[in-house]
């Protein structure tokens, strides 16, 4: 029973916050709703007993989204004073969401204690791997069965990186400002780098 | 299935990946000075991979032996045939590339590296027998294509082409992924055999949606109408060698994916996808033929020509028989020769200052300035139009033959009628070259490498090509048998 209530709570909030992601005009708000959507999706994962994936959702997506958030903030011209202006006005909404999150935590933990939702067995060829922990199963599948795809996905990331560098990297002309010549720095010795002066009282130093 | 066997079957991709990684390091150390050397190494690696794939071609006849990594990847005759075409086309494009960029001062050492990664992705695509493998291969190929399209980053048109290709390509990837998730949801398997078995038991409306989405996404990649809108813009804006590449190898790979997916996992649901393919075929032929008529830019013209050709290739697939698959492969082989030849000829058209020429006004009276080049272009254009003594006719012939044998007479008839419309602009091309007054000077000599690539293409397309009909027929039939065993 508690699982069902928790499921509908999480699922409804995933959908509601996904709708808000595309409905809100402010991109920063969109990103915040997106984080809420990810948290709730992670809650759904907990309900079916996939706690490792739930943790990954929070770490990877919410972590990555935090970076995305940073980019949005850096790239867009957003007036933060104006954002804060509505603090009092939006305070009740904030409290409401905080309460919902608290309720989710309670229901989520309760549902997890009560045991995971039984999804049944898929009709397809893939038989569930039983008797191991989730993390060990994922590791086994990822590095044994799907090693080819795993490595190929790594190559895709490399291609993306090379592509980004090819399209944006510009070589600075030699001697440009801010260019560092490490060899020259290392080869400097104290004799030529420092000058001893004995200035007279009340006079400055001429260099 | 041991890992050693799996590694052996995927050795072409693994070898190309390792070469690409080594070249990437060399590029980082030596900078752009070594770009030419890296290009030569990349060409050698691609040719080596093609030779290795030929070696796998016969061996893969025994069906189970070709499966690698638990049937994620199948090195069968069909995959090997596609890979030979892809690798050779990529190598040919790489040969004619450096001169174009040297003129503009934009050739960089990463270009051959990206081409190699692209080839790896395409090789994975044609051999994929799992929806996940398919997606990974597709993304590897697409991602490097986006970068190649905008490789001339100081050129606005190139950047625009790259951005357009990226946005629409990402959309297509999303559509494919959505279809994949639906198919997986309704069948419980991403493996082609598993999907076919599940569809045989129950083919629901939801699964049909999945099939349609996957086909629509792949149709985008082969630029079949109604998913062709990006093609003329991207082909015009991208650097010419990259356009030559886009029109050849990735088309083969995407077509390979489409054929495999239609003839393997969806083989039991021919009725479900045949009408989509027939519509796309007819629409592509008509739009390709009509759209090209008003074009002044030769790259745009060839873009519409490639849309038109995709329509003919789809007619062969619509037959949904072994003969149909064989005709698709035959047409693709000839198509690659025609496309690479046409774009190489286009790359050889430069004014005395070395600027590339790409409009109709520039080729007026070319026969008096560059008679050899003009005659080569004549062979290529007549071949694209499908005029009998040339080999381009054979491709259209086998495709229509397969369609007629599969009782698709009306489709074949409309296709033949539309190919007459298409002949108009190919003939216009020849008329402008041979009968118009020359308006501008052109460069009078071209390097041997360009002549070699153009020469091979023209030799295949000349009536000499008919010597190939018997071996080509045998190879394509053997490749098509990869699926009939599964049907």
Rounded distance between C-alpha atoms, residue A190 and residue B367, angstroms: 74
B220, B260 in Cβ contact below 8 A? Answer: no
How many other β-carbons are positioned within 10 Å of the β-carbon of residue A150? 14
pLDDT at res. B256? 94
Count the helix, strand and coil residues of chain B and give each as a percent rounded to the nearest 5: 80, 0, 20
The dihedral of CA A53, A58, A60, A62: what is its sign? positive
Across chain B, mean pLDDT equals 89
Indicate the number of domains in chain B.
1
Alpha-carbon span B397 to B405, nearest angstrom: 12
pLDDT top residue among A175 and B290: B290
Name the residue among B117, B146, B189 with its Cβ closest to that of A124: B189
How many alpha carbons fall within 13 Å on the CB side of residue B149? 28
> How far does the CA of residue A69 sit from the closest CA of chain B (Å)?
21
CA distance B77 to chain A (A): 21
Q: Exposed, middle or buried, B304 (CB in 10 Å: 0-12/13-18/19+)?
A: buried
pLDDT band at A80 (very low <50, low <70, confident <90, very high): low
Distance CA B325, CA B399 (A): 9
Q: What is the pLDDT of residue B155?
A: 84
| Interface contact flag, B114 A159, Cβ < 8 Å | yes
Confidence of residue A87 (pLDDT cuts 50, 70, 90): confident
Write the CATH number of the domain with boundaries A1-78+95-118. 1.20.120.1200
Residues 17-56 on B with a CB inside 8 Å of A are 17, 24
Structure tokens given for B147? 């970068």
* Chain B residues with CB-CB distance to A149 below 8 A: 72, 132-133, 136
Report helix angle B371-385 to B322-348, nearest 10.
160
Mean pLDDT, range A43-67, rounded to an integer: 84
Q: What residues pair up with B191 in beta bridges, in sequence order?
A: B130
Inter-chain touch A159–B68, beta carbons under 8 Å? no
Q: Does B15 touch chain A (CB under 8 A)?
A: no
Closest-CA residue in chain B for A159?
A: B144
Task: Say if B6 is an interface residue toward chain A (CB within 8 Å).
Answer: yes
Q: What is the pLDDT of residues B166-192, one digit of tens each?
A: 999 999 999 999 999 999 988 888 989
CB contact under 8 A, A155 and B194: no
Which residues fall within 8 angstroms of residue B422, CB to CB, at 6 or more apart?
B285, B288, B289, B292, B305, B308, B385
B138-151 b/e with 16+ CB inside 10 Å = b? Answer: bbbbbbbbbbbbbb
Most B-contacting residue of A122, A128, A163 (CB-CB within 10 A), to test interface = A163
Question: What pLDDT score does B336 carry?
Answer: 95
- Per-residue pLDDT at B47: 95
- Judging contacts by C-beta atoms under 8 Å, the chain A residues touching residue B119 are none
Q: Is B177 on the interface with A (CB under 8 A)?
A: no
Judged by a CB distance cut-off of 8 A, whether residue A139 touches chain B is no
Q: How many CB pairs under 8 A join A and B?
A: 79
Q: Name the band, by pLDDT with cuts 50, 70 and 90, for residue A83.
A: low
- Facing residue for A159 by CB, picked from B70, B124, B140: B140
- B374 vs B442: CA distance, rounded Å: 12
The answer to whether residue A160 neighbours chain B at the CB level (below 8 Å) is yes
Name the residue among A123, A153, A165 with its Cβ closest to that of B136: A153
Question: Is the alpha carbon torsion for B22, B23, B24, B28 positive or negative?
Answer: positive
Q: Where are the domains of chain A?
A: 1-78+95-118, 132-169
Over residues A109-120, mean pLDDT: 73
Instruction: Give the whole-angstrom CA distance, residue B187 versus residue B425.
Output: 47
User: What is each CA distance from B261 to B191, B218, B313, in whole angstroms?
Assistant: 11, 10, 15
Chain B contact set for A147 (CB, 8 A): 69
Neighbouring residues of A57: CB distance < 8 A, sequence distance ≥ 6? A38, A41, A42, A45
DSSP states along chain A: -HHHHHHHHHHHHHHHHHHHHHH-SSHHHHHHHHHHHHHHHHHHHHHTT-HHHHHHIIIIIIHHHHHHHHHHHHHS---HHHHHHTHHHHHHHHHHHHHHHHHHHHHHHHHHHT--------SSS-PPP-SS-HHHHHHHIIIIISHHHHHHHHHHHHHHHHHHHHHH--PPPTT-TT---HHHHHH--HHHH-----PPTT-----
Question: What is the predicted pLDDT for the residue at B92?
Answer: 95
Cβ–Cβ below 8 Å for A148 and B69: yes
> Which residue is it, tokens 């080049």?
B373
pLDDT (average), residues A86-93:
79
A146 vs B132: CB contact, 8 Å cut-off? yes
Q: Residue B61 above 60 pLDDT?
A: no
Q: Report CB contact under 8 Å: B188, A126.
A: yes
B74 phi/psi in degrees, rounded to 5 = -125, 120
State percent of chain B over pLDDT 90. 51
Sort out which chain A residues have CB atoms less than 8 A from B153's CB and list them: 167
Give me the interface pTM, i.e. the ipTM: 0.91
Cis, bond preceding B339 (omega within 30 deg of 0): no
Domain that holds residue B123: 3-484
A136 in contact with B, Cβ within 8 Å: no
Does A186 lie at the interface with B, CB-CB under 8 angstroms?
no
For testing contact with chain A, the best of B6, B67, B69, B134 (most A CBs within 10 A): B69
Instruction: Give pLDDT, residue A116.
Output: 67
**B117 CB near a chain A CB, below 8 Å?**
yes
pLDDT in tens, B2-50: 788 888 888 999 999 999 999 999 998 888 888 889 999 999 999 999 9
- Is A123–B24 a contact, with Cβ atoms under 8 angstroms apart? no
Nearest alpha carbon to residue B324 among B484, B154, B93, B164: B484
**Chain B closest-CA separation from residue A160 CA (Å):** 7
Q: What is the pLDDT of residue B438?
A: 83
DSSP symbol at B362: G
Question: pLDDT digit string (tens) for B404-447?
Answer: 998 889 889 988 888 888 888 889 888 988 898 887 778 878 88
Q: Which chain A residues have a beta carbon less than 8 Å from that of B124? A: 152
Pairing of strands B73-74, B67-68: antiparallel
Measured in angstroms, the CA of B121 and the nearest CA of chain A are apart by: 9
- Determine contact, residues B211/B327, Cβ cutoff 8 Å: no
At B59 the pLDDT is 64
Other beta carbons within 10 Å of B165 = 25
> Which of B468, B343, B293 has its CA nearest to residue B395?
B468
Cα-based torsion angle of the residue sequence B353, B357, B361, B365 in order, rounded to the nearest 10 degrees: 70
**For residues B322 and B482, what is the distance between their CA atoms, to the nearest angstrom?**
9
Q: B349: helix, coil or strand?
A: coil
User: Which of A124, A155, A160 is the closest to B187 by Cβ?
Assistant: A124
Smallest Cβ distance to A159: which of B117, B187, B188? Answer: B117
Cβ contacts of A162 on chain B, cutoff 8 Å: 24, 110, 113-114, 117, 147
Exposed (0-12), middle (13-18) or buried (19+): which is B448, by Cβ within 10 Å? exposed
Whether residue B69 and residue A125 make contact (CB cut-off 8 A), yes or no, is no
User: Which residues lie below 8 Å from residue B178, measured CB to CB, with a gap of 6+?
Assistant: B213
Best residue in B6, B19, B137, B143 for a mutation probing chain A (most A CBs within 10 Å): B143
In contact, B233 and B150? CB cutoff 8 Å: no
Angstrom distance (rounded) from CA B457 to CA B338:
7
Does residue B163 sit at the A interface (CB-CB below 8 Å)? no
What b/e readout covers A58-74, taking b as 16+ CB neighbours within 10 angstroms? Answer: beebbeebeeebeebee
Answer yes or no: is pLDDT of A122 > 60.
no
- B259-275 pLDDT, tens digit each: 999 988 888 888 888 99
Closest Cα in chain B, distance from residue A171 (Å) = 11
Considering all CA atoms of chain B, what is the largest pairwise distance in Å, rounded to the nearest integer?
67
CA distance B332 to chain A (A): 27
What is the model's pLDDT at position B114? 94
Q: Quick one: pLDDT band at residue B235, thresholds 50, 70, 90?
A: very high
Residue A156 and residue B133: Cβ atoms within 8 Å? no
Give the Cα separation of B55 and B333 in Å (integer).
18
Inform me whether the pLDDT recorded for B62 exceeds 60. no
Other Cβ atoms within 10 Å of B471 Cβ, number: 9
Read off the pLDDT band of A123 (50, 70, 90). Answer: low
Following CA atoms B290, B295, B299, B304 in sequence, which dihedral angle do they give, to the nearest 10 degrees? -10
Summarised one tens digit per residue, pLDDT across range B345-360 is 999 888 888 788 888 8
pLDDT higher than 70, residue A78 = no
How far apart are the CA of B365 and the nearest CA of chain A, in angstroms?
Answer: 39
Looking at residues B134-153, what average pLDDT do you find?
Answer: 92
What residue of B is the nearest CA neighbor of A157? B140
d(CA B392, CA B308): 13
């Amino acid at each position: 029973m508690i699982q069902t209530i928790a499921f509908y709570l999480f699922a409804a909030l995933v959908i509601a916050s996904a709708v808000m992601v595309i409905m809100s005009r402010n991109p920063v708000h969109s990103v915040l709703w997106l984080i809420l959507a990810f948290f709730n999706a992670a809650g759904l994962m907990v309900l079916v007993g996939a706690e490792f994936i739930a943790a990954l959702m929070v770490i990877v997506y919410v972590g990555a989204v935090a970076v995305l958030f940073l980019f949005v903030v850096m790239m867009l011209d957003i007036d933060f004073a104006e954002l804060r202006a509505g603090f009092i006005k939006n305070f009740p909404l904030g409290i409401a969401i905080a309460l919902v999150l608290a309720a989710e935590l309670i229901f989520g933990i309760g549902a997890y204690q009560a045991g995971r939702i039984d999804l049944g067995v898929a009709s397809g060829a893939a038989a569930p791997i039983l008797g191991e922990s989730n993390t060990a199963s994922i590791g086994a599948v990822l590095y044994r069965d799907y090693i080819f795809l795993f490595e190929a996905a790594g190559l895709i990331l490399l291609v993306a990186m090379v592509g980004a560098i090819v399209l944006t990297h510009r070589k600075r002309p030699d001697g440009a400002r801010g260019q560092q010549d490490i060899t020259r720095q290392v080869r400097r010795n104290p004799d030529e780098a420092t000058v001893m002066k004995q200035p007279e009282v009340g006079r400055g130093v001429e260099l | 299935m041991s890992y050693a066997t799996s590694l052996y079957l995927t050795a072409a991709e693994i070898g190309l990946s390792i070469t690409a990684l080594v070249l990437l390091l060399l590029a980082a150390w030596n900078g752009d000075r070594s770009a030419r050397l890296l290009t030569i190494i990349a060409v050698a690696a691609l040719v080596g991979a093609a030779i290795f794939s030929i070696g796998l071609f016969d061996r893969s006849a025994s069906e189970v032996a070709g499966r690698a990594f638990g049937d994620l990847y199948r090195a069968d005759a069909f995959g090997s045939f596609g890979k030979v075409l892809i690798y050779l086309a990529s190598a040919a494009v790489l040969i004619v590339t450096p001169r174009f960029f040297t003129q503009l001062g934009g050739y960089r050492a990463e270009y051959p590296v990206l081409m190699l990664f692209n080839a790896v992705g395409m090789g994975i695509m044609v051999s994929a027998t799992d929806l996940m493998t398919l997606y990974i291969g597709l993304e590897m190929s697409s991602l490097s294509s986006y970068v190649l399209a905008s490789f001339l980053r100081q050129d606005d048109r190139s950047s625009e082409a790259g951005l357009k290709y990226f946005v629409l390509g990402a959309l297509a990837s999303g559509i494919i992924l959505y279809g994949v998730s639906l198919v997986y949801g309704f069948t419980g398997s991403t493996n082609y055999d598993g999907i076919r078995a599940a569809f045989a038991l129950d083919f629901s409306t939801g699964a049909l949606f999945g099939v349609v989405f996957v086909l629509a996404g792949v149709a985008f990649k082969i630029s079949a109408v109604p998913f062709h809108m990006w093609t003329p813009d991207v082909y015009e804006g991208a650097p010419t060698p990259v356009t030559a590449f886009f029109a050849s190898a990735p088309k083969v790979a995407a077509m390979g994916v489409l054929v495999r997916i239609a003839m393997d996992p969806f083989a039991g649901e021919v009725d479900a996808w045949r009408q989509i393919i027939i519509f796309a075929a007819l629409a592509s032929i008509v739009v390709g033929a009509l759209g090209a008529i008003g074009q002044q830019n030769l790259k745009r013209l060839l873009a519409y020509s490639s849309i038109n050709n995709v329509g003919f290739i789809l007619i062969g697939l619509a037959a949904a028989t072994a003969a149909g698959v064989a005709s698709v492969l035959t047409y693709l082989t000839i198509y690659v020769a025609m496309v690479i030849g046409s774009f190489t000829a286009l790359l050889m058209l430069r004014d005395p200052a070395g600027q590339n020429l790409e409009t109709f006004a520039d080729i007026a009276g070319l026969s008096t300035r560059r008679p050899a080049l003009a005659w080569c272009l004549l062979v290529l254009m007549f071949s694209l139009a499908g005029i009998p003594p040339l080999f381009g006719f054979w491709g259209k012939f086998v495709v229509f033959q397969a369609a007629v044998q599969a009782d698709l007479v009306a489709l074949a008839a409309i296709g033949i009628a539309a190919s007459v419309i298409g002949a108009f602009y190919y003939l216009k091309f020849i008329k402008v070259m041979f009968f118009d007054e020359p308006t501008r000077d052109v460069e009078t000599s071209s390097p041997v490498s360009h002549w070699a690539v153009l020469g091979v293409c023209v030799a295949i397309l000349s009536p000499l090509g008919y010597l190939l009909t018997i071996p080509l027929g045998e190879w394509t039939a053997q490749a098509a048998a990869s699926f009939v065993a599964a049907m």
